[in-house]
Amino acid sequence: METIVVVGSSNTDMVIKAPRLPRPGETVTKGVFFRARGGKGANQAVAAARAGGRVTLVASVGLDALGNESIEAFAEEGIDTTHVMRTGAAASGVALILVDADAQNSIAVAEGANALLSASAVRACEPAIASAAVLVVQLEIPLDAVAEAVAIARAHGVRVVLNPAPACAVPDDLLARVSVLTPNDWETEFLTGIAPAGEPAMDRAATALLARGVEAVVMTLGSAGVYLAEGDRRERIAAWPVTAEDTTGAGDVFSGALAVALAEGKPLFDAARFANAAAGISVTRRGAQPSAPRRQEIIDVLEGRGAA
């Protein structure tokens, strides 16, 4: 089994499901609270492990109870935690998440230990990255750490999946080393200035990203489905017809499952269908990591034996 290395963040999510998202200065009552493990890197690692991948996580957590819980949970998922750094210089990362009755969310993050994942720490993990089939990275850790991981991967011929979230400026020399970019609608607009509303706009945005050096683009567009662009080929995959409970982490589930399918040698367009099914299942459940489906669930949905 090929290995997937995920370099990224690990948080604990504090979630309130409320009737609606509050406006500035407003208090909304009648919420329901729950806690879940999160962080985009950890989410993608768990999603990949549950989808059948052999996963190594490179991350940073605090020397605190939340960090201990995260390490234990990763081990339970079968994730290799050899390269999860512990630090006493900052608390483990925390995300405060509000989810409304329509499953839309608003998120604030305290990076904590995630901000201390340095390029030198990533460089120390070069043997693990070099031996992987796919590297998965996001932007909830310092950009120089992301760039170091990507540089190592490409130097060793490892395919790179970059989920450009949260949205921030990404240098063209970094994008040019990306095998597959997985932005959502807002991240696509941030990177290109083009809102991907309708297929003509999706095509223009994808073409703009390909022109910056990305090998392939897979836009995750919620109820509008998935739009893929690679070379001259374009394809749109419809979203699974589900009633969404919570969209938190759906993009992370998509990226993690996509990495598994790519590591198994599936063509990009087939890998995206696998990932789309995984994400469709995830939005019917609450929480980021808890919502990630198991491999057999994904296969059952794809083969018509289960409901997303």
CA dist 206 and 262 (Å) reads 20
Catalytic annotation on 252?
yes
Kind of pairing, strands 226-230 and 216-220?
antiparallel
Q: What distance separates the 2 farthest-apart alpha carbons in the chain?
A: 52
Catalytic residue among 246, 252, 270, 300: 252
CA distance 94 to 8: 14
Residues annotated catalytic, as ranges? 252
